[in-house]
Amino acid sequence: MKRESKAIPVLSRRTKKAIIGFLIIAVALLVWFDRSYLSNNWPQNQTNTQKNTADFAKYHGNTFTVINVVDGDTLDIDADDEQSDSTRIRLWGIDTPETKNPNTPKMYFGAEASSFTTKLILGKQVHIYLDEQNNTRGKYGRLLAYVQLPDGRFLNEILLNEGFAYADLRFKHSLYYKYQQLESAARSQGKGLWGHVRHEQLPAWLQREKPQLLLKK
């Protein structure tokens, strides 16, 4: 007696194309996800870790000479950095009024802040300290640092104490709350820019962060 063979279903051309198309899309999505995950996680973190380690070894706790003052909160020291023969430093935790940003008009008290920083540190030997809780570089590649003067005071704090800078609320750092208190004390005493600054003269980020900020009359 003959056994009946089971019929093998034949897929239509349209069905085959649909399955092949689905598989191609699935593979493409897997490749994209894999590359996206790696590019957004491992390589970047690996690069940041290596850069942080190198920066701490080179700068943290070491002494350098200030060879240029760019702005109230930005300066150059005599240490080569990648393609430059100097290292640009952005002071951690503060923001002085802009004077050199091509996209921003000169701000109220910016010239005074820049002049104050220049007189205080240009040509001086300073100690550089980095923040262990953060990356050592900002988005423009500048070294983020606390700068200590020969007399032991920190430039970051002096600028806040004397009313030449705002406590930067956009980025958390080890002295975040202390810097807020220093700014508050200077503001209550009407020091520096706090004596006459108007709300519309504040940095745009500060107007967003503290729209109801009370200024000294």
CATH code: domain of residue 136: 2.40.50.90
Q: What is the pLDDT of residue 93?
A: 97
Residues 6+ apart with CB under 8 A from 209: 169, 170
Q: Which domain holds residue 72?
A: 63-209
Identify whether 50 is part of a domain: no
Whether 90 is catalytic: yes
pLDDT of residue 27: 57
- 27 in any annotated domain: no
Prediction pTM value: 0.77
To the query of whether residue 142 is one of the catalytic residues in this protein, the response is yes
In a domain, residue 82? The reply is yes
User: 153 an active-site residue?
Assistant: no
Residue 195 lies in a domain: yes
CB 122 within 8 A of CB 64: no
Residue tagged active-site, from 3, 35, 98, 209: 98
The token pair at 105 is: 């008009």
Instruction: Indicate whether 55 belongs to any domain.
Output: no
Each residue's pLDDT, cut to its tens digit, for the chain (217 residues) gives: 445 545 545 556 666 666 776 777 765 555 454 444 434 444 445 588 999 999 999 999 999 999 999 999 999 999 999 889 999 999 999 999 998 877 778 899 999 999 999 999 999 999 999 999 999 999 899 999 999 999 999 999 999 999 999 999 999 999 999 999 999 999 999 999 999 999 999 999 999 988 888 786 5
Active-site residue among 112, 142, 157, 183?
A: 142
Tally of domains within the chain: 1
Given the residues 90, 112, 183, 187, select the one marked as catalytic. 90
